[in-house]
Chains A and B, each alone.
Chain A
Amino acid sequence: SEDEELHDEL
């Protein structure tokens, strides 16, 4: 999801 995509970075 949008959220996951955002938070896959450090």
Chain B
Amino acid sequence: MNIFRLAGDMTHLASVLVLLLKIHTIKSCAGISLKTQELYALVFASRYLDIFTHYVSFYNTVMKLIFLGSAFSIVWYIRRHKLVRRSYDKDHDTFRHYFIVLPCLILALLIHEKFTFRVVMWTFSLYLEAVAILPQLVLLQRTRNIDNLTGQYVFLLGAYRALYILNWVYRYFTEPHYVHWITWISGLIQTLLYADFFYYYFQSWKNNVKLELPA
């Protein structure tokens, strides 16, 4: 564990807590894409299959349980909770996310480090996570007034993977043979997808104006 990875995990945890705070306290999911939440639930389900068979550390197990539990409860809230579901903008959350699941699965079957069920599913989760934010970014372009919590949620979610890139750089220089191109390229693409969001988020913060993404 290094400071970049810990900072990344804490940033990821913070993004989940911000979203849960928004949904649980003000019972609203305005501006939040259910499709991105469903994709993330699938990311964690396919990445943490070995949560009980491959013990890494107490920290690792606890964090996996938090990410799994929060992802599925957020999907449940938006789908089932009578108050929350009312604020779900289903007319604008129209990204056909099923069309990105299959290509990620096929790509994982073609490009992976080892052809075992565990590694292929893990690789699938990496490819899927790289594009999981797309429905959310599309929805933000269609959402007029993005509230602060939603903006913070997306920012933290993007920032966590950027910190993971620093972690990979650190591990590359400190651990011999630590080379994982699939992880690195997926993580880089994932972070680059946030580039214009980061730009507009920074502009809104600097000029102290409402966050708006041009359509």
Residues of A within 8 A of B (CB): 2-10
Contact = CB atoms under 8 A, between A and B. Distances in A.
Interface of A is mostly: helix
Interface of B: 5, 9, 12, 50, 54, 56-57, 60, 63-64, 67, 113-114, 118-119, 122, 164, 167, 175, 178, 180, 183
Interface of B is mostly: helix
Contacts of A10: 9, 12, 60, 63-64, 67
Contacts of B9: 10
B126 to A, nearest CB: 10
A6 B183 contact: yes
Contacts of B56: 4, 7-8
Contact of B113 (A6, A8, A9): A6
Contact of A3 (B5, B119, B183): B119
Contact of B178 (A3, A4, A5): A5
Nearest to A5: B178
